[in-house]
Every structure is written in structure tokens, then in C-alpha cells.
Amino acid sequence: MPVSVDTKRNLIALSVALAVCFAASAIGGLLTEPNLPWYETLKRPGFAPPNSVFPVVWTILYAMMAIAAWQFWRATRKVEDLKLGLIWFGIQLGLNVAWSFAFFWLQSPASGLVVILLLLLAIVVTIVVFDRSSRSAALLLMPYLLWVSFAAALNFAFWFLNR
């Protein structure tokens, strides 16, 4: 049975969303990995999870982000809404990478805190915009919002303990 043009288009769009999200993940990893020895020297808050938790959680979240972007793309009928949603998605993805740069590469919990607060705002705006076209796309971003909220508290604690 031949694959329809719509099916091919959907698979390409999903592949692009996955590639973009995991490219951001890879860049963040490249900024983080060389600085893990510095991170290990920091005083850790009691609620900091073991380092082994982060790659598992982030892999799941990046996959959910990609599926959310894809669902938003599929559901949105107005070009203006699509542009707005994808711009905000891109902004939050860029801020996600910028956090790795600020916190790990610059070795600055204070800079990381500023970036993560901007990231939280961008995620909220993205969820609101996505929700206009696709409730499921917006809901897929909720675990990401919750995790980044936790990460912001963790970032604050690292800053506070290591001033």
C-alpha cells in the first residue's frame, strides 16, 4: 500500500521536530560535559537529584517537546498562529541551550538563574500559544515546565550555597 503525501509530510515534519530538539540537546550537552568536574566542586542542595537522573529526564522531555511542536504544526490552521508558536518554541529552545552556556560553560549559577527565569517565561508563553491550536501540544509541554521550575529552584539553591 503506497504511503500518502500527507503521511510523508507528517513524518518529515516529525523528523524535523525531533532533529531540532535533539540538536539543542546535543549542543547543551557539549556545553555541559566539559564542565562537570567544576559542577562536582559545588556545594549541593539536599534536594539535588543524582547526576544520572538528568540525561534520562531530558531525553524524555526533548522527545515530548518535539512531539508537541509537531502536533501544534499539524493542528494550526492560520499561518500567523503557526509562525508565532514556532517563534516562541524556538525562543524557549534557544534559552534552554543558553542556560547550559550560562550555568556550565561560564560556570555561573547567577547567570544561569537569570536565563532560567527567562526560559520559564518563554515556556509559559509557548504553552499558551500552542493551546490556542492544540490542547494536547500544550499539555505535552507541562512536564517540561514543571521540570524547569524544579531546575530553577535547584539553580537558585546552587547560587545561594556557592555565592
- What pLDDT shows up at residue 144? 98
- What pLDDT shows up at residue 95? 98
DSSP codes of every residue in 7-46: HHHHHHHHHHHHHHHHHHHHHHHHHHGGGHHHHHHSPPPT
> Which architecture, in CATH terms, is 5-161?
Up-down Bundle (1.20)
Burial class of 74 by CB neighbour count within 10 A (0 to 12, 13 to 18, 19+): middle
CB atoms within 10 A of CB 115: 22
Written as tens digits, the pLDDT of the chain (163 aa) is 777 888 899 999 999 999 999 999 999 999 999 999 999 999 999 999 999 999 999 999 999 999 999 999 999 899 999 999 999 999 999 999 999 999 999 999 999 999 999 999 999 999 999 999 999 999 999 999 999 999 999 999 999 999 9
**Do 143 and 127 form a contact (C-beta atoms < 8 A)?**
no
- What pLDDT shows up at residue 4? 83
- What pLDDT shows up at residue 3? 72
* Stretch (H or E) spanning 114: helix 109-133
Domain residue spans in the chain? 5-161
